[in-house]
Chains A and B, each alone.
Chain A
């Protein structure tokens, strides 16, 4: 059983190793005469979202609390990091101190959300956290004096003096941070803390009767998960050189993190790493690639015609349902018969 105490599981080493090799394709493909895929940037976002999803995994996978507002903590981390490093604020404490500070502020915010929701479970907790996500977004948008509103805080200084054209070096710096995060979370998983979380997830009453205090365990889970989300946000902002607008920390980011956790297998760090590669591989590499290729082939524009609802009515549609009571319009122009009552209020003619 010594294997269970080892610092990294074999699966985690394989996943991290595979991720480390991906950006090398950027060098290999042009050398082989093929088109570069710009994988370094995508790999960097894999790291950012893997850290976010590892944080979410602590809350959802280990403690069994359904949190749908994890992106809010990413936003909090990004803005805390930005405020602490932006040249127009007097802090400018540098990359590493700001990263740690962002994590602490994220943990604090997590505890702040966790405290009033201790008694909630399942769907109810999901609703509260979802609402919290929206509140944070709106607040950041509207407190313009501090957060610059929809403009976002920019430009942020690049960490380690890296410029955006050195994407590969940047990626390896981030990968090192991911390795540290995985190591720490693995420690937690096999420690007393992790055991308390699992016990609370499996049976809260039984855990309580064994002398565990579920409230404290849940708060710690919330704080730890949010701290990781905040680190992820800080890395995101640092890579972008900007916090971007508050809307980029929206509900769909929370869902993306949830997808990463679930695709890889809930509760497993290895799974999160694989899930991040799969999901970000689809959204950041395959989709842009596919849309480029389709555009090149001229299929893209055709697909647009089909996918846009406004163009739908110009297409011949033999099986289209007709209005049950024929209106004057439909009797005079059977070809343009309205196919939805909602689209053709009585008396109005469909647009030509």
Chain B
């Protein structure tokens, strides 16, 4: 065949092969660096927030006659297990949530949950801490079942190749995950709507779906961030029943809530926070009669 132009030599061929290998190597190195940088970046944000709060708290404690303040305002050991623990706080309660989720549990050394150095949210999640969001963050265009199955992701083992070729193991796992997701939807009372898009659900149901999604990862601890916000009385009663059922199934519940009926109705233990510091701890009855709490939430009676 007549080809005008240059006929590559053996040397050039070697060059091309070396080029391919070089590109491959460069990809591997770049990938490693990129993934690491991302981890370090995310982890450092979590730690920065946590460290700031810790410093703030210690400064405040030093100002108030140097009392030592624990990194977490409550005892996070076996005693907290299988309880519904409520953080009842003015304003700063929510700021404990990322700390519990991302930092304090591991850093304080009392961690029953995990001890790895990387603390990005995905690691926290795979360590067994699930959470819901105060402003609902579902996957609006996915169906209810798919939303719940995403929550199950950390327990699934199908890889890319398995997915691509629809290997029998992948199909089996998919069917199992689906059945389990349907069961969870049933548990939170959304069984009939399994194939609807999540974005079309009414507000109260979206909250329940979020809880189902968090439960799907079979967490040791589930953090609920103001689950009763914006709910009407009927929905609230249903929610309380649901949270109790979650506890009875053996999951520790940590609740951040202002809704007094929910707090007093279902909490096993309550920690009251004021300006980010704990001022009282106890059962609902104790908290109800605690003078410090009454002062913090109702104000002091002016005499004279």
- Which has the most chain B C-beta neighbours within 10 Å: A89, A144, A209? A209
The B254-299 residues at the A interface (CB cut-off 8 A) are none
- Please report the C-alpha to C-alpha distance between residue A210 and residue B212 in the assembled complex, in whole angstroms: 12
| Residues of chain B within 8 A of A115, CB atoms compared | 27, 30-31, 33-35
- Chain B contributes a number of interface residues (CB within 8 A of A) equal to 61
Contact A215 B38 (CB under 8 A): yes
Interface string of A111-125 (1 = CB under 8 A from B): 110011011000000
CB of A192 within 8 A of CB of B27, answer no
In the complex, the answer to whether B137 meets A206 with C-beta atoms within 8 Å is yes
Q: Which of A151-174 contact B (CB under 8 A)?
A: 151, 155
* Residues 171-196 of chain A, each 1 if its beta carbon lies under 8 Å from chain B, else 0: 00000000000001001101111111
- The 8 Å CB contact of A145, one of B12, B121, B131, is B12
Q: A83-B16, A146-B12, A208-B120 are in contact. Are A198 and B146 (CB under 8 A)?
A: yes
* Interface membership of chain B positions 24-44, coded 1 if the CB is closer than 8 angstroms to chain A and 0 otherwise: 101100110111001001000
Q: How far is the CA of A281 from the CA of B33 in the complex (A)?
A: 45
Q: Would you call B6 an interface residue if the criterion is a C-beta within 8 Å of the partner chain's C-beta atoms?
A: yes
Bound CA–CA A62/B31 (angstroms)? 22
Specify which chain B residues have a CB less than 8 angstroms from the CB of A330 in the assembled complex.
none
B20→A209 contact, CB < 8 A:
no
**Interface of A (DSSP majority class):** helix
Q: Indicate if the CB atoms of B174 and A202 lie closer than 8 Å.
A: no
B80 adjacent to chain A (CB < 8 Å): no
CA distance A199 to B152 in the complex (A): 12
B158 contacts the other chain (Cβ, under 8 Å)? yes
Beyond A187-B166, A199-B150, A219-B31, whether A145 also contacts B174 by CB under 8 A is no
B183 CB, nearest partner CB in chain A, Å: 15
At the interface, yes or no: B114 with Cβ under 8 Å from chain A?
A: no
B166 surroundings in chain A (CB, below 8 A):
187, 191
- Bound together, the chains give a CA A112 to CA B32 distance in angstroms of 11
Q: Using Cβ atoms and an 8 Å threshold, which residues of chain B touch A199?
A: 139, 142, 150, 153
Q: Which A residues touch B138, using CB under 8 A?
A: 202-203, 206
**A192 contacts B126, C-beta separation under 8 Å:** no
Residues of A within 8 A of B24 (CB): 108
Interfacial residues of chain B within 19-74, with CB under 8 A of chain A in the complex: 19-20, 23-24, 26-27, 30-31, 33-35, 38, 41
Q: Chain A's nearest CB lies how many Å from the CB of B79?
A: 26
List A190-239 residues whose CB lies under 8 Å from chain B. 190-196, 198-199, 202-203, 205-216, 219-220, 224
Check if A105 is an interface residue, CB within 8 A of chain B: yes
Please, how many angstroms separate the alpha-carbon atoms of A89 and B149 in the complex? Answer: 50
Find out whether the CB atom of B139 lies under 8 angstroms from the CB atom of A211: no
Given A5-B171, A88-B3; 5 other pairs, CB 8 A cutoff = A118-B35, A151-B5, A198-B139, A202-B138, A215-B35
Chain B contacts to A: CB under 8 angstroms: 1, 3-8, 10, 12-13, 15-16, 19-20, 23-24, 26-27, 30-31, 33-35, 38, 41, 120-122, 124-126, 130-131, 133, 137-142, 146, 149-151, 153-154, 156, 158, 160, 162-166, 170-171, 173-174, 195, 213, 217
